[in-house]
Structure formats: C-alpha cells, structure tokens
Structure 1
Amino acid sequence: MTQIPVLPSPTWFVGCGNMGGAIIDGWRSAGLSLSNLVVIRPSGKAVDGVRVVTSFADAGPAPKLVVLAFKPQKLDEIAPQLKTWLTSKTVLISLLAGAEADSLKARFPKAGAIVRALPNLPVAVRRGVIALFSRDADDDVRQQVANIVAPLGFAPWMTDEAKCAAVGAVAGAGPAYVARFVDALIKAGEQRGLSTEIASTIALETVFGTAWMAAASNEGMDSIARRVASPNGTTEAGLAVLDKDQVLDQLVALAIDAAARRGTEMANEAKLAALAEPERLS
C-alpha cells in the first residue's frame, strides 16, 4: 500500500490562483491532509478545507515549506514582505513562470533551498506534468519535494533550467492548445448538423480515448494515425489536409515558440528587476 505523503508543518501557499487551486484540488483528491497548509492572500477568499489568512503576520510560525502561487508580475511586491519570514530550514517552491532560480535566490537569500516547479492545470485531476529544477536542493529536499508532487502526475527533475522551461512551454501551455483543438472538433461537428451537446461529448471522448489508448499501448502517434486511416479512405483524405507541407506541425511549433519566447522575456524582466533592487533600497 502506497503511503500518502504529509505536507511539512507549516506549509504556506502565498497566493492561490488557478494553478495553486489546481494543486490543492489534486492533493485533496489524492487524500493528502491539508491541515498543515495555510493560504495567504490579501482578498481572504476562501479555499475549501484550508485555513486562509490575509497577511504573513496572521499565518503563524515560520514556514518549513513555501509555495509561490501568485502572478509573476507580483514578485517584487511580495518578496520584500515574505523574505523576512524565511529561514535556512525553509524550502521555497516557485510556480512562477519566467522567474529563474538565480532571480529567486536574489530575492530570498535566506531560504534553505529554492525549487522551481512548472505544473500544468491537469494536476487538479492528478494527471498533470510538473517540471522540477533546483540548483541548491540536496537529496533529502529533492525527495521531500518529489513525494508531495508525485500524487499530482508526472514530475521529472530537469538537469538544467532551459529544459525546465521547455517542459513549461510544451506541457504548461499545452492544455490550452489541446482545448482549442477540441473546440475546433466541436465546431466541425456542429457544422455537420450535430447538436452542441453531442458534438462536445464526441470530441472529448475522441481525444480522451486516443490519449488513453496511446498511453496504454505505448504506440507512437504516427502509427495510430496510420492505423485509423484506410488507404484512399475518409480519414486519409483529412490527413492529407493536416499533413500538407507539415502545416499542423508548423502551427503548433509556432505556438510553442511564442510561449517559450514570452517565458524568456519574463525571465529577463525578473533579472533586471533583481539588479535594480539595491538601487531602490539605497
């Protein structure tokens, strides 16, 4: 029987937007106790089954684990308030896209270890992807982090930050692109006379069933496509449109490149802000 991991006491979630909420939903679904978790958000908006406070002063003892789950643009607003509560025993996990490890270390120098975790929304249903990277986490910290994210899905440790960002660009943004493809299937069904309800169910089950079949069989995508398509049949006629001049491959590559480029821009913005910090304090 697999032992359910326990969150360190106390664990702070600083902010709790879509991704933070998805992680908490995944932990709840996995049976993790949320009793050691405190969410700190100025709005005080409730989170089911979790204590919520509006300030660090109300959160209690210094945290053993902190998860940064706010918008990246808020980093320089929140960091000066948060860093005074961190100690050498604090592990800090950042969900912030674009905020690289060095930029985080510059803002939280007293943290014992800093881990970047780039998850995607399916962590809410425990089928997520979470890229992990750290420069200073020892083996014990890595194991601790791996234990608490494992219930959320596939969580590989990346050997360098560029690969971590690559996973973020593909997996992090991927659900949005898959959702657009499913929506396109729904619209195509509607154009063929199907009701929205029937078209939606067909599109979702087709995508879910194909993914499940591929995961269960370990069969390659091209092999599945060719197995569906009979020579000179209906599927092959449609594939001829998608495969012409690799138009679909190029379109997806352009979307991923745009996401990766924005990630690089955000990383550079965070670096510049960190360099400017001493000037603001002088």
Structure 2
Amino acid sequence: MTQAMVEGWLAGGISPDRFTAYHPTRKQAAHGIAMTNRLEVGTYDTVLLGIKPQMLPELAPQVAPLATGSVTVLSVLAGITLDGLAVHFPNASGVVRLMPNLACGVRKSPIALIGRGMGEPLADDVRQKLTQLAAVLGSAEWIADEGQFDLVTALAGSGPGFTYRFIDALARAAAQLGLPDDQARRLSLAMVEGAVALAAASDVSPADLAARVASPGGMTQRGLDVLDDDDALLSLLTRTLRETRDRGEEMGRTRP
C-alpha cells in the first residue's frame, strides 16, 4: 500500500527527494528514492507507518526516536487506534490514521483521515498539509468520529475488492449465458469504467442515472427489477459492509 501511495505522490509531481524509505535489508528503492537500512533521527516532518499491524509493538521503539518534536505520525495500519498510536509515539506532534486503497497509485483513491495532537486537536497547519498531501492521491475525507473509521475502511478501503468481484461476476454471468469468456471480461470491464466515469462527472445521483438508463417495461428495467426485488442488492451490500466493519473492530480489540 505504501508503495502505491508513493507512486501516486511521484505521479502527482512530488519530488523523490522528499522521501526516505526504510527497510532492514533492501538496498535500493524505486524511482530514485533514498533508501536506508538504519532508523536514524533526521530532518523529517512526517513518519508514515506501512508495516503489518502486529509488528507495531516490536518496531515502535525503534521508530519512536524519529517521531519527536514537530514530526507527525501517519498510519495505514488497520485496527490500530489513535490511542494506540499515541501510546507508542508519545513525543510526536500528532498521530493520524489514513486509509487509502490501491487506486492511490493512479491517483484515484478516496483517502479517509482522522487525527489528533497530543492532548489537543491536530494543528490547523498540519491538517491542511495532510489534506493537500492526501488530495494528490485522489480525494481527502476527514472523519469526525473514530468509531466510524472501520465502516469507512470497509467502504473506501475494502470497496475495490467488492467492485472487482462484481465485475468478475458480471463477466462470468455473461459467459454462462453464452458469450466467450475473454469477450465477456472485456465488455464488463469497459462498461464499468464508462459507467463510473459518467457517474463521477454527473451532477445527478447514481440512483437517478439508473432511472435514466431504464425505460418503463424495457430490458434494463427488467434487470433492475431483479436487483431491487426485496432490496436484494441493498441487503447483500449492507451485510458485506457490516461484516467487513465488524472484522475491523475485532482486529482493533486484539491489538495494542
């Protein structure tokens, strides 16, 4: 994920010399980014955590000396709360949870953020800087209630997985009904790409767009009737997001 984020930032015009990557064994980073095998205090303004959440207790003592003074800690670690980050990085100026998805590599990801300073709200200048940084990767959305962060993660972070499954299901359904597999995949992908682009550029809601596509008694309406029967699609996606959110909450309860 952090690699995709850096690729998005570079594609957005941020210079490679703004970054230093740490890895215990790797000797070289892509795109001319400086790589180090030693965690040493430097002139950083932000530390981005891109490790597996269960590794945080082991690695935090090594990272904490870097996160002091005016340094802000950014975390993409699922299940690690602001309280948990503050415990591990008590001398940072602030801690921020940031949740992108892999589309940040092509600068099309929604970026959810929530953060705080140590004992006070996040400084306005830090919030503004992080908003600008996140917006390079797509769009920035600050979340007011951390209790909603797992739901936001389920929607914006895990959502691409659900979307890919939907595209795959459309293609497989068309193939089962007689189209060649490769043609069904191409048509499904191209259709979704166009539909999303139109929805993003439109000044009306997706629900209204669906109504505009359908004619009374026509082909599209017959298909929509199947999806709408007993709110079948809505019920399925509500369950999907609920289960995903609840898993995030479970993970958070078992992590420091």
TM-score (norm 1): 0.84
- Over 3 Å counting, the alpha-carbon distance change for 1:204 and 1:47 in structure 2 is farther
Match of 2:16 among 34, 42, 47: 34
C-alpha distance in 1, partners of 2:23/2:239?
Answer: 36
Counterpart contact for 1:62–1:87, Cα < 8 Å: no
Partner of 1:16: none
C-alpha distance in 2, partners of 1:39/1:206?
Answer: 39
- Over 3 Å counting, the alpha-carbon distance change for 1:197 and 1:147 in structure 2 is same
Counterpart contact for 1:62–1:86, Cα < 8 Å: no
Partner of 1:10: none
Partner of 1:116: 97
Could you say what the CA RMSD is over the residues aligned between the two structures, in angstroms? 1.7
Match of 2:114 among 133, 149, 163: 133
Aligned length: 251
Match of 2:135 among 147, 150, 172: 150
- Over 3 Å counting, the alpha-carbon distance change for 1:61 and 1:206 in structure 2 is same
C-alpha distance in 2, partners of 1:47/1:160?
Answer: 36
Is structure 2 residue 71 aligned with structure 1 residue 55?
A: no
Match of 2:76 among 64, 74, 95: 95
Q: Deviations over 1:56-99 (max 9, x none)?
A: 14xx6253210011111211121121112321121111111111
Q: Measure how far apart 1:46 and its partner are.
A: 4.4
Give 1:202's aligned amino acid.
L
Give 1:55's aligned amino acid.
R
Q: Deviations over 1:13-59 (max 9, x none)?
A: xxxxxx101101111211210112111123417431122233314xx
Partner of 2:181: 196
Is structure 2 residue 246 aligned with structure 1 residue 261?
A: yes
Partner of 2:4: 22
Give 1:117's aligned amino acid.
L
- Over 3 Å counting, the alpha-carbon distance change for 1:186 and 1:47 in structure 2 is farther
Q: Which runs of 5+ in 2 are unaligned?
A: none
Partner of 1:279: none
- Over 3 Å counting, the alpha-carbon distance change for 1:196 and 1:51 in structure 2 is farther
Match of 2:202 among 214, 217, 220: 217
Q: Deviations over 1:243-266 (max 9, x none)?
A: 111111111111111111111112
SS in 2 for 1:259: helix
Moved over 4 A (4+): none
Is structure 2 residue 148 aligned with structure 1 residue 163?
A: yes
C-alpha distance in 1, partners of 2:181/2:14?
Answer: 37
C-alpha distance in 1, partners of 2:38/2:176?
Answer: 52
SS in 2 for 1:185: helix
Q: Measure how far apart 1:124 and its partner are.
A: 1.0
Determine what percentage of the aligned residue pairs are the same residue. Answer: 37
C-alpha distance in 2, partners of 1:242/1:55?
Answer: 55
C-alpha distance in 1, partners of 2:27/2:247?
Answer: 30
Q: Deviations over 1:104-132 (max 9, x none)?
A: 00111011111111111111111111111
SS in 2 for 1:56: coil
C-alpha distance in 2, partners of 1:218/1:96?
Answer: 35
